[in-house]
Amino acid sequence: MAMSMKVIKLTVYWDAADAQLIIGFIDDLRGLLVDTYGDEIADMHRQLMQDNTLDEGQTDLPFNDPVEF
């Protein structure tokens, strides 16, 4: 899945109370999304990590030298 960066400009005229209200909404939304999709998101990240470690194009190098610290 290829992703591209998009820049979104958001002009707002909020006071501190409005900003706090939005922060509370975002916190609540995040909690609901984690409750609803958290396990699926974790599984997706695990699968991505597993896919990245199983790169068939990598060459196994015969280096077995001990590393001394």
22 pLDDT higher than 70 = yes
pLDDT in tens, 27-39: 999 999 999 999 9
Contact 22, 14 (CB under 8 A): yes
Q: Which tokens sit at 45?
A: 């990240």
pLDDT at 67: 73
55 pLDDT higher than 70 = no
The distance from CA 39 to its chain's CA centroid, rounded to whole angstroms, is 14
Q: pTM of the prediction?
A: 0.56
Q: How confident is the model at residue 1 (pLDDT cuts 50, 70, 90)?
A: low
pLDDT at 26: 97
